[in-house]
Structure 1
Amino acid sequence: MFSSERLKGIDVFVCVADAGSFRIAAERMHLTASAISKSIARLEARLGARLFQRTTRRLALTDAGMTFYRTCTGVLAELEEAELSLHSENSELQGRVRLDLPGAYGRAQALPLILRFAQAHPRLLPHVSFSDRYSDPIAEGVDIVVRIGGADIWPDTLGHRYLGSEWHVFCASPAYLSQHGTPLTEDDLQHHQCIAYGWVDGNVSPWSFSGHRAAGETERRQVPATLVVGDGEGLLVSVLTGCGIAQLPTWLIQQHLEAGTLVEVLPRLATDGQAINLVWQKSRQSLPRISALLEVLAAGLKPSSGNGV
């Protein structure tokens, strides 16, 4: 027979796991840190397993804690949805959805879709963050993640949909080309000002060049960069200012190509870029607000036929 004892402490446990701190969890639940700690201790004693690995610097889930967390979040999601369905006769989408998006791509492509969806469902509460690093949706309590690039194999606990690839083209401003000329071959790039993407550690991303298009071959090589910028939007500003030639995804520059403020050069060397991935917690997928938003993002971010996103 089911015992209500099994539910005691679950909400506290999930809150601590999401917060990564007893203190922060206590603030969120309007309890004392001592009460939080005692609740976790009682839960661990009842389960006969240690749920958290405590150090002086951080609080992390043990393997047993991660397994229990996945189960608990699934149960709580189902309870939440059951309660919401009772309060909403018209099945209006409502509740919080946490999303994490890549910086430039997320703001330019995904955020407008989310905002329109939220306007159509005023009881929905999107919580949107931006980062380009790899993130673990379960460990960080994120419902939906959009990533450019990322893992080739995703854990069984995560749902994943490959949406397509970026399309990278070489481009420059009309003013730059008027002053320096238009490159006609790959070798001509050696005599131009090249703007590349780089990281704070000094590493510079190579450019991709298409080989035999029919064979789908792509070659990556370093170019002699005269300017290195560690942000996609910063690269765009640099090209628009006339600082040189850059290789950029069409989703970032399409409007400028259409307006004539940027010009594509060496079009035969354009190539596929990184994969665009939609990732989510499987335990949350059954919630209508999550499944509906997944469909919106999958349809809106899917690359159109031809080149680009």
Structure 2
Amino acid sequence: MFSSERLKGIDVFVCVAQFGSFTAAAEKMNLTASAISKGIARLEKRLGVQLFHRTTRRLSLTDAGVAFLRTCKGVLADLEEAELSLQSENREPRGCVRLDLPGAFGRTRVLPILLQFAKDHPLLTPHISFSDGFIDPLQEGADIVLRIGGANTWPESVGHRLLGREWHIFCASPDYLARHGTPQSEHDLEQHHCIAYGWVDGSIHPWSFAGEQGATHRSQVNPPLVVGNGEGLRMAALAGCGVAQLPRWLVEQQLKDGTLVEVLAQLACDGMEIHLTWSKSREALPKVRVLVDALVVGLRVLGEGLCD
């Protein structure tokens, strides 16, 4: 259970860290230097760590102090933002919101939604990063995280929304198909160059195929070319290197302009789930709540290449 004791001393700590001395912080907060020093000592005792290196000449943060300052600044900023939002009649989202997105999907599908949202909400300052590994929003300090694939269960501290699944198709360039013919069945792929996804350890991701009555099965391919990135696989297919299995959202434009052609449409199937997660401790903030809603709606509208 949350205790108000946890808030005691945070404002003093942040002020001392910003001004670099007890005396300067005391003047800023209209307190005595002794009161400031005792407040920091009580906070360190409660936390069980040393927050400052103290010498006769200077005061500097320890590693623990640096980490704690980052967290405290976020807490105080959220409290200030919550107060401003309650005072605002229209509750316009404002302040910094931190998002982490998967690389290719984030750049092609999510970023346009965020850029338009930022234009519509000038008081909001999105900080957008791109990474593909799983991260815990709380540990990384992110407000909102979007991932393709993810945990089977999510911690209670994390809000979660399943947006849908990728739709995986097979495609190749017109040039490749003119030279090698168009495969008509899974068996035909044995006679074709298959471009597969792989990892640095040498393992290769199997291909998935739709079967009878909606069942999906996996099969390992023996590719002459392995690429460990979706955009790289698309480039290889565009270069005429062979047949690739890719999420439809990644090749949507190429299918429209004819630089890639879908093959084996009867074997296309759903792929990994797409998850939107956020820190529950911040979900009541307008900047988080409104942006989560905007992403859910925006990705549904731009849902080609995804399946529910």
Specify the TM-score bucket, using the shorter chain as the normaliser.
0.7 to 0.9
- Counterpart of 1:225 in structure 2: which amino acid? P
Shift in Å, 1:232 = 1.0
- Percent pairwise identity: 51
Instruction: Give the total of aligned pairs.
Output: 278
Q: 2:289 and 2:143 mapped to 1: Cα distance?
A: 10
Structure-2 change in CA distance of 1:234 and 1:74 (3 Å): same
Shift in Å, 1:7 = 2.8
Residue number in structure 2 paired with 1:201: 201
Residue number in structure 2 paired with 1:291: 289
2:229 to 218, 227, 231: 231
Q: For 2:287, what is the secondary structure of its paired residue?
A: helix
Residues 259-274 of structure 1 mapped to structure 2, 5 A cutoff? 259-274=257-272
Residue number in structure 2 paired with 1:9: 10
Structure-2 change in CA distance of 1:7 and 1:72 (3 Å): farther
Structure-2 change in CA distance of 1:41 and 1:154 (3 Å): farther
Contact 2:85 2:286 in 1 (8 A): no
- Counterpart of 1:167 in structure 2: which amino acid? W
Structure-2 change in CA distance of 1:266 and 1:39 (3 Å): farther
2:221 pairs with 1:240 = no
2:148 pairs with 1:148 = yes
Q: 1:283 and 1:263 mapped to 2: Cα distance?
A: 46
Measured against aligned partners, the alpha-carbon deviations of 1:46-84 in whole angstroms (never above 9, x if no partner) come to 35x5699xxxxx9789xxx99xx9999678634431035
Residue number in structure 1 paired with 2:35: none
Residue number in structure 1 paired with 2:111: 111
Measured against aligned partners, the alpha-carbon deviations of 1:147-197 in whole angstroms (never above 9, x if no partner) come to 000001100000000011000000001111001110111111111111111
Q: 2:158 and 2:4 mapped to 1: Cα distance?
A: 30
Q: 1:84 and 1:264 mapped to 2: Cα distance?
A: 49
Residue number in structure 2 paired with 1:166: 166
Residue number in structure 2 paired with 1:80: 81
Structure-2 change in CA distance of 1:5 and 1:257 (3 Å): closer
Measured against aligned partners, the alpha-carbon deviations of 1:186-224 in whole angstroms (never above 9, x if no partner) come to 111111111111122222111111122x2x321122101
Structure-2 change in CA distance of 1:244 and 1:9 (3 Å): same
Unaligned runs of 5+ in 1: 14-25, 53-57
- Counterpart of 2:217 in structure 1: which amino acid? E
Q: For 1:224, what is the secondary structure of its paired residue?
A: coil
Contact 2:249 2:304 in 1 (8 A): no
* TM-score, L = length of structure 1: 0.79
Q: 1:96 and 1:196 mapped to 2: Cα distance?
A: 40
Structure-2 change in CA distance of 1:75 and 1:237 (3 Å): same
Shift in Å, 1:4 = 8.8
Q: 1:220 and 1:102 mapped to 2: Cα distance?
A: 24
- Counterpart of 2:235 in structure 1: which amino acid? V
- Counterpart of 2:139 in structure 1: which amino acid? A
Q: 2:257 and 2:297 mapped to 1: Cα distance?
A: 26
Shift in Å, 1:240 = 0.9
Q: For 2:154, what is the secondary structure of its paired residue?
A: coil
Structure-2 change in CA distance of 1:85 and 1:225 (3 Å): same
Unaligned runs of 5+ in 2: 26-37, 52-61
Contact 1:10 1:72 in 2 (8 A): no
* TM-score, L = length of structure 2: 0.79
